[in-house]
Amino acid sequence: MKETEIKRLLSANVICIFSIIVATVTPSLFLENFSILGTHLTWLSICSASVGTVNIVLYFILKPNPSNRRTSLAHKVARFLRCCVYFFMSCILFHGIIVLYGAPLIESVLETFLFAVLLSTFTTLHCLCLLGPNIHMWLRVFSKNGAMSIWDSSLQITAMCSVVGAWLGAFPIPLDWDRPWQVWPISCSLGATFGYVAGLLIAPLWIYWNRKQLTYKSR
Amino acid sequence: MRLRSGVFASACLLVQALGVGLFLRGFFPVPVRSLPRSGALAGPPAEPPPTGFSSNWTKVPSPLFKKAVIVLIDALRDDFVFGSKGKRFMPYTTQLVERGTSHSFVAEAKPPTVTMPRIKALTTGSIPGFIDVIMNLNSPALLEDNLIQQAKAAGKRIIFYGDDTWVRLFPKQFVEYDGTTSFFVSDYTEVDDNVTRHLDNVMKREDWDLLILHYLGLDHIGHLSGPHSPLIGPKLSEMDNIIKKIHTSLLSKEEGEVTSPHLLVVCGDHGMSETGSHGGSSEGEVRTPLLFVSSAFDRAGGLLKPPELVQQTDLAVTLAIGLGLPISRNSVGQLLLPVVQQKTVREQLRYLHLNGFQLSRLLQENMATYEKDPGFQQFKMAEKSHGSWIKLYLEGNTSEVLRNLGKKVLRQYLEAIRVLSSSLSKQVAQYDTYSMIVGTIIVLEVLVLLLLSTAKALSSRAELEVPLSPLCSLLFYLTCLMLCAVHVVVCTSTESSCYFCSISWLTAIGVIMLISGLLCVILSALEKVFVNPKQMAKNPAAATSSWSEFDMLILAGTVGHVSSLGASSFIEEEHQTWYFLVSTLCLALCQETCRHYFLAKDCDLQLPSSAKANPEEVKGAHHHRDDAGYLQDASKTGKAANSESTRGSEKWMALATPWVVLVCCRLLRSLNQTGVQWAHKPDFGHWLTSSEHKAELSLVASVSLVMIFILVQRRCSLVSKIAMALGLLGVYSYRAAIGNVEFPWQRDSKDISKGIIEARFVYVFVLGIVFTGTKDLLKSQVLSTDAKTKFIGLWEIYSGLVLLAALLLRPHNLPVLVFCLLIQAMMTKYVWKPLEFDAAQVTIMHYWFGQAFFFFQGNSNSIASVDVSAGFVGLDNYVEIPAIFLTGFATYSGPLLWAVHLLCYLSSDVSRNPSAMGHGCFCYALLRSIPVAVYIVLVTGLRYHLFIWSVFSPKLLYEGVHVFITAAVCTFFTAMDHNHLRKVQD
Ligand SMILES: [Zn+2]
Ligand SMILES: [Zn+2]
């Protein structure tokens, strides 16, 4: 059973990675002079949109945490609205943190905000899909030994990797190399993306490697 | 010998300070100097005599120009004259450059681009060493052979008006002078009017030969609002009018007589960067215009070529030739040939020969293998062909052959002089390798020793065994002997001067014994670690298992910062590293508080059930349970102490504190833009200090002072509370007196003074508060009363230092002080104490915040950002020791205040953890010695890097001074600690 779960996780993650590659490659067929560095804002929005849709679609197909009870439509709509609010709030929170880290407050607001959206897509959206708008669940998953399934572990790993990637991505900015990718927020968003991809790859491998030690508490 | 970790750490730091001092002495080379005796012996050389003839040209050639006027405009960039700004605002000068009888050059200044070394370079023609920058602080008279001294010796009458640096450099050389002080940087009209008011009078008179004018206004405008300020234009027009006035009156003087023309030189000492400061090596700071105007020159041709790039040092030799003076002995400049081009070929060759001869003599005195130098060989060849040219000339030959040969000799001379000059300029970067190596060895040994003893020093006993028995061992004597032998061999073999060889034998042997002793101690410590690992194994295992993410972050941050020191841009932008690390620290603290307050409850509920459910996962949940137990204990004690409601509010304050700190840091970051890349961005500090926002600055200053009082007074005794209030009032009136801020009731008073009385008034209170604090400390030491008296004493000393910082920091930096106090108060109350961080962690946090505040107050790793004016607060004129102390305190006030606060915190924490002081002191020493040791090694490796003088050397100086300060602070720590431990033992 565990093996199949890991396989499902792996395939889901590969699809996510694939969606990032598609988001990077295909727009140049439709849009003129599209490039990651040149039209970074477009790339940011396309990438977050595609990763977001793929995540949501995967959630509906795979149903990693199947809910037992059937719920009414109104309940579902309310749940969806709460998800939207949570996502928006996380964007604002990320934006705030990025500004506190030293991003310019007024100029290039759009860049900063889109970067925050990208980060939320990599982290919060994932959480929303897997755990739903339930802060207590989030706190549990992100505390020590809180993971209850391989999906939770994967969530932990990818979220950590994307944030750490964005954090490391800030380091080249002060270097005086005058490269186009040193412009705010390109190196950070690239760092976050690479971190996310790395997380997606590492998660199944790590779980596979440690499958003997990993014993999840039943609910 | 058993030592407590505090004593051990401060001893280590003192030794390290010695090593750093030795390294610094070796790293900053002594500039090339001619030997004093040789100059007295050798007069000017004769013209190279052809065989069979003897030349009668043996004296210094007669002057080309009768009178010379040097207009030195501080911080004049080349594009202010030759660029679009020059065309717009300096029409007369532009017309002189384009169509007048003039020669224009772009003179390149060597970094450091600070006024005094530049004046030295202009007058001596030598390149002042980096060490001259530090001497800028006390600016003694220039003893080196220089143009002014030569002119005075030749009986020329020199008049000087302008920056009083000249008056200090040349105290007796001027027949008439009026020095203006560059004390008030915000004043840019009066400094120049002080110079110009003499101009009409002096231009009418005939009783002078050399007139030097140094205008400071442009530099002050640059410092205030940068090179693109609207104030620049009018200032340039003013300068243009002055140049016009001088030039026309020089021309009218010439009309009567035809004997010899006059010369007008317009130049800048350095430029300004895009932010308006200077000191570094950016293009704007380095390139200055150099303009020679005289009726003797040919009119500039129709087609305009861009001005030729020359060195700033070339001015001294050109002026010496132009005024018929001997060339300064240390000059490395080359004669600017266009200036003497109207003379005959024989005279030109004579000038070039003089220049080449002087350069080759300087080379002989500074290089052992001078004969192999290509420049020297070329010069000898040129001298020979010069001789044969003279022979042909004296024979009366006037044919084409003579002219061609003359051209060839000229070319040979120019090439030889160029090569000689560049190889001499390279000599400046000669390092005293032996002293550097000795210093590095000491520093590295201390670092290794500190690292090896970390585990023991941070153990709960905070004591460690220093094996002294090996000191008497055979190894020690062998190493000593070997090192002595090496010392003798090195010192007798090298020709170049070496500091470590020049100190007395006894001191050298002492240092050698220190090195070998340290080596023996390290070896025995290593033996302990590796040979009997079983004994040690228990402690490190326990230590590593308790390592949290927080410790990992601290470790990663330290390692990351240290490794970033290898890149020049990371040094220039070091503040970014610290801001980044501090922000991450705040987020980590946020996570810690969340875990402490939210998950503690969950753990209470979950832990028993999970333990029951999965008895096999004991391994995984091992320290999970540890944490929970620990938290339960904490919450129990917390509940016992506080009622439920206060606990609730405390919880929310604790959760909010990291965010408040983050917001504070973000605000402070936009107060002072430092660094290089983003330094030109507008910041709040510049906005406040600009003259039209005086009211806002006054408001900010007064609110900050009130806040400082509120934050500081809560732990002071009544007497020092009153003293503090009066002192802060004094600070405000000092600011009002020097014109930074205004009182609401005196809107129109314009009289600016130095505020000496007000500043001294504050000093009295600073001393008073520090004295009260010391008294309390002594009382607690002698009577060994409770720790409370000691804490109050320490806090009083701390508040005295805060008052001093409030006086000395730049006026717009008072909010920095407020936020510093606010962060300290909030962190202490809501984070450090309730969450029970251990002494080592708190120390590291203090260190990080201290580093961040160093940059928040507007410092950077370039010399230009040192606020020298802090050294003059409350002083009538320059007094060396107080000025150095005050400047040092103002520069390092951020790290220093955090260190003293650490001391206060730990002394109040001592009841919980008796070894807190020792741990703190040790951690502080370790944190300081890691970067300095690594940086010393890095700098040694990078000593031929392109940016060594502009980026790495200033940073090295900052690091060195920081080590000295930390050593002093740690000694103070140990003194405090000592007292306490003795009491515990009693
Ligand atoms: Zn200057
Ligand atoms: Zn200046």
pLDDT tens, position by position, B627-679? 444 444 444 444 444 456 677 788 888 889 999 999 999 999 888 888 777 77
Radius of gyration from C-alpha coordinates of chain A = 18
Query: What pLDDT shows up at residue B695?
Result: 85
Which residue's entry shows tokens 């230092």?
B801
Q: Which of A99, A139, A173 sits opposite B666 (nearest CB)?
A: A99
**Whole-prediction pTM:** 0.77
- Residue B3 belongs to what H/E stretch? strand B2-4
| A97 Cβ under 8 Å from any chain B Cβ | yes
pLDDT, one tens digit per residue, over B489-534 is 888 876 556 778 878 888 999 999 899 988 888 888 888 777 765 5
DSSP string over B907-939: HHHTTT-TTHHHHHHHHHHHHHHHHHHHHHHHH
Residue predicted with more confidence, A71 or B149: B149
- Average pLDDT for residues A164-192, to the nearest whole number? 86
Report the range out of A134-148, B40-54, B315-329, B609-623 with the highest average pLDDT.
B315-329
Contacting residues for B546 by C-beta, under 8 A, at least 6 apart? B623
pLDDT top residue among B871 and B888: B888
Look at residue B610 and tell me whether its pLDDT is greater than 50.
no
Interface touch B584/A167, C-beta < 8 Å: yes
In this structure, which amino acid lies at residue A218?
S
Hey, is the C-beta of A63 within 8 angstroms of any chain B C-beta?
no
Which DSSP string corresponds to A1-28? Answer: -HHHHHHHHHHHHHHHHHHHHHHHHTHH
Check residue A98 and give its pLDDT: 92
CA of B275 to the centre of ligand 2 (A): 12
Across the interface, whether the CB atoms of A102 and B666 are under 8 A apart is answered yes
Q: Tell which wins on pLDDT, B857 or B750.
A: B857
Decide which of B340 and B738 is more confident: B340
Local confidence band at B90 (pLDDT 50, 70, 90 cut-offs): very high
Total residues belonging to chain B: 986
The conformational region for residue B162 under phi > 0 = left, psi -120 to 50 = alpha, else beta, is left
Q: Percent of chain B, pLDDT > 90?
A: 31
pLDDT score, position B568: 85
Cβ atoms of B895 and B965 within 8 Å: the answer is yes
Q: Cα separation of B709 and B195, whole Å?
A: 44
Q: How far apart are CA B159 and CA B142, in angstroms?
A: 17
Residues A122-137 have a mean pLDDT of 83
Interface of B with A in 555-584 (CB under 8 A): 567-570, 572-573, 576-577, 579-580, 583-584
The band of B542, judged by pLDDT with boundaries at 50, 70 and 90, is very low
Q: What is the pLDDT of residue B247?
A: 92
B575 to chain A: nearest residue by CA?
Answer: A174
Backbone angles phi, psi at B547, to 5 degrees: -75, 120
- The answer to whether A67 contacts chain B (CB < 8 Å) is no
- Say what the pLDDT of residue B41 is: 45
For residue B270, the CA-to-ligand 2 centroid distance in Å is 9
10 Å CB burial of residue B360 (0-12, 13-18, 19+) is buried
Instruction: Please tell me the predicted confidence (pLDDT) of residue A3.
Output: 78
Residue B524 one-letter amino acid: S
pLDDT in the model for residue B548: 76
Q: Which of B38-47, B168-177, B351-360, B959-968 has the lowest mean pLDDT?
A: B38-47
Average pLDDT over residues B10-34: 83
Alpha carbons B967 and B892: distance in angstroms, whole number: 14
Interchain proximity B666–A140, CB inside 8 Å: no
The shortest CB-CB distance from B576 to any of A99, A139, A174 is to: A174
Position B312 scores a pLDDT of: 92
The answer on pLDDT for A96 being more than 90 is yes
The Å distance, Cα B279 to ligand 2 centre, comes to 8
Residue A216 forms contact with B (CB below 8 Å): no
DSSP letter at B832 equals: I
Q: What is the pLDDT of residues B325-376, one digit of tens each?
A: 988 888 889 999 888 888 888 889 889 999 999 898 888 887 777 888 888 9
How confident is the prediction for chain B on average, in pLDDT? 82
Element (H, E) at B288: strand B287-293
- Does the pLDDT at position B472 exceed 80? no
Give the range with max mean pLDDT: B716-720, B790-794, B865-869, B891-895: B891-895
**The pLDDT of residue B438:** 92
Cβ within 8 Å, pair A144-B624: yes
- Between A142 and B405, the more confident residue is B405
How sure is the predictor about B280, in pLDDT bands with cuts at 50, 70 and 90? confident
Chain A contact set for B627 (CB, 8 A): 144
Tell me the shortest Cα–Cα distance from A177 to chain B, in angstroms.
9
pLDDT for B437 = 92
| B386: pLDDT strictly greater than 50 | yes
- C-alpha torsion sign, points B330, B334, B336, B340: positive
- What is the SS3 assignment for B213? strand
pLDDT-based confidence at B391, cuts 50/70/90?
confident
The confidence score (pLDDT) of residue A103 equals: 84
pLDDT (tens digit, 9 = 90+) per residue, B788-839? 788 888 899 999 999 999 999 988 889 999 999 999 999 998 888 888 888 8
